Amino acid sequence: MQQINVTKTYLPPLEEYDKYLKKIWDNGQVTNQGPLVTELEEKLKTFLGVKHLFLVNNGTIALQIAIKALDLKGEIITTPFSYVATTSSIVWENCIPVFADIENNTLSINPDEVRKKITDKTSAILATHVYGNPCNVDALQIIAKENNLKIIYDAAHGFGVNHKGQSLLKFGDISTLSFHATKLFHTIEGGAIVTNNDELAHKISYMRNFGHNGPEAFHGVGINGKISEFNAAMGLCVLPKVAELIKARKNISELYNELLKNTSLIKPEIADNTKYNYSYYPVVFPSEEKLLIVRDKLNNMNIFPRRYFYPSLNMLNYVGKQSVPVSEDISRRVLCLPLYFDLSIQETEKISAIISQML
Ligand SMILES: *Cc1c(COP(=O)(O)O)cnc(C)c1O
């Protein structure tokens, strides 16, 4: 059997990409905010229903620019249950990550734990919408307001999610997205910074382009966050397919739900009032030992789920020792099962059968 991975990049029909390549060849511009980047930005703003959106070259630089744009200093309270970039961006920007533990059922940062970690050095909360599942945005907003903190949401998994009747990307001061090839919507490599705030938007628009204000002047410190026309072309091909891709993932997720319902696996609870994007299919095992047995068995059958997220980020050797028992426990027991647009019914049944047998 062909190898099955946790995800598979959606590639559009080659002719569709080729149409955009011809445009690039015709006008000769390959990067520096070309027409395809501008077109994709406009289309994404409409699709996502957000005010300001800036494409950048990856989701990590999006986080770093967000931290810089908000001029954050000192301690940033963050989740230990996320991809490493969430924490590394904080450290890279010379701030200190302070971990607040997660909720056992949603796997999102726990607002009560956030409150406990606030000190006079805290400047912001950086939380992840884990697997596209919205954080408790209302509780975090109240905490931020009471304590004069900024909020950044790492929405790398949150593309196309709606929450409480609007885009999930509208919550907080800034949301960041990743358009890496493994994500639901992608530009091969890429990402975006989203904000409702005009002043921040102004700052970000300079920051992502070295701070350039015309060829010979600079608005302030900046970095090279630019994305190429080739990446934008991929995004323009993938965007019209997103609804279809989400539909396919929904169907597969529902099939997994049905086939795995009599096992001891637990699924994270999705926040109420959410139109979900089915970006991942995480399951929590009763023990790490069971997880490893199932993982090895699947690997032997050429099936490669992923321990995502593992390890808990408080285990990184460049952060101070901090105790977050729920995150450590869940990280050891969570596995993301293969989920992508053309995973077949037969493949889903086979994966589910192997797992069911062992649990
Ligand atoms: C993928 C991801 C990132 C990093 O995005 P890149 O585009 O790969 O730099 C950051 N945070 C989370 C939660 C992610 O899943």
Model pLDDT for residues 31-63, shown as the tens digit of each residue: 999 999 999 999 999 999 999 999 999 999 999
**Last residue of one domain, picked from the residues 202, 224, 240:** 240
Going by the DSSP 8-state scheme, the letter that residue 344 receives in this structure is -
Neighbours of 216 (CB within 10 A): 6
Q: Are 348 and 305 in contact (CB under 8 A)?
A: no
Q: How confident is the model at residue 2 (pLDDT cuts 50, 70, 90)?
A: confident
Does residue 5 sit within a domain?
no
Task: Kindly state whether residues 93 and 230 are assigned to the same domain.
Answer: yes
| 276 and 165 together in one domain | no
Separation of CA 356 and ligand 1 centre (Å): 31
pLDDT level of residue 146 (50, 70, 90 thresholds): very high
C-beta of 87 in contact with ligand 1 (< 6 A): no
* Residue-wise pLDDT tens digits, 320-333: 899 999 999 999 99
pLDDT value at position 313? Answer: 98
**Closest protein CA for atom 7 of ligand 1:** 59
pLDDT surpassing 80 at residue 198? yes
Pocket test for ligand 1, best of 87, 133, 178, 186 (most atoms within 8 A of CB): 178
User: From the CB of 133, is ligand 1 less than 6 Å away?
Assistant: no
Q: Residue 302: pLDDT above 90?
A: yes
List the beta bridge partners of residue 212.
Answer: 218
Distance (Å) from CA 138 to ligand 1 centroid = 24
Q: Are 106 and 217 in the same domain?
A: yes
pLDDT tens figures, 208-241: 999 999 999 999 999 999 999 999 999 999 999 9
Domains: count for the chain: 2
Q: Residue 1 falls within a domain, yes or no? A: no
Query: Do 69 and 194 sit in the same domain of this protein?
Result: yes
Domain assignment present for residue 122? The answer is yes
pLDDT digits (tens, 9 = 90+) for 83-139: 999 999 999 999 999 999 999 999 999 999 999 999 999 999 999 999 999 999 999
User: Do residues 62 and 154 share a domain?
Assistant: yes
| Burial classification of residue 39, based on how many CB atoms lie within 10 Å of its CB (0-12 exposed, 13-18 middle, 19 or more buried) | middle
Q: What is the pLDDT of residues 276-292, one digit of tens each?
A: 999 999 999 999 999 99
Going by their DSSP bridges, the two strands 274-275 and 162-163 should be labelled as antiparallel
pLDDT over 90 at 260, yes or no = yes
Co-location of 165 and 299 in the same domain: no
pLDDT(1) > 80: no
* Distance from C-alpha of 141 to C-alpha of 152, rounded to nearest angstrom: 11
Q: Does the beta carbon of 191 lie inside 6 Å of ligand 1?
A: yes
- Given a contact cutoff of 8 angstroms between Cβ atoms, the answer to whether 327 and 103 are in contact is no
**How confident is the model at residue 51, as a pLDDT?**
98
In a domain, 4, yes or no: no
- Pick the atom of ligand 1 nearest to 182's CA: 1
What's 85's domain CATH number?
Answer: 3.40.640.10
Ligand 1 contacts CB of residue 188 (under 6 A): no
* Same domain flag for 187 and 305: no
Tell me the pLDDT of the chain averaged across its residues. Answer: 97
Which domain does 88 fall in, by range?
14-240
Work out the percent of the chain whose per-residue pLDDT is above 90: 99
| Residues 185 and 252 grouped into a single domain | no
Ligand 1, from 102, 180, 312: best to mutate by most atoms within 8 Å of Cβ? 180
Domain boundary among 240, 262, 287: 240
Backbone φ and ψ of 30, nearest 5°: -105, -20
Q: Are residues 235 and 290 in the same domain?
A: no
Using a 6 Å cutoff on CB, does residue 222 contact ligand 1? no
At residue 359, the pLDDT reads 87
**Cα separation, 128 vs 131, whole angstroms:** 9
82 close to ligand 1 (CB < 6 Angstrom): yes
The verdict on residue 224 lying in a domain is yes
Q: Which amino acid is at 175?
A: S
Ligand 1 center to residue 1 CA distance, Å? Answer: 30
Q: Is residue 139 part of a domain?
A: yes
User: Of 71, 76, 170, nearest to 114 (Cα)?
Assistant: 76
Q: Is the CB of 130 under 6 A from ligand 1?
A: no
Helices (H) and strands (E) in the chain, counts: 12, 14
Is the CB of residue 79 below 6 angstroms from any atom belonging to ligand 1? no
| Residue ending a domain, choose from 182, 210, 240 | 240
* 184 and 245 Cβ atoms separated by less than 8 Å: yes
**Long-range interactions of 196-204: CB distance < 8 A, separation 24+:** 196/50, 196/51, 196/52, 196/170, 197/52, 197/173, 198/52, 200/52, 200/69, 200/70, 200/173, 200/174, 201/51, 201/52, 201/54, 203/69, 204/52, 204/54, 204/65, 204/66, 204/69
How close is the Cα of 214 to the center of ligand 1, in Å?
31
Please, which residues bridge with residue 99 across strands?
78
Residue 118 C-alpha to ligand 1 middle, in angstroms?
26
pLDDT at residue 161 in the model: 98
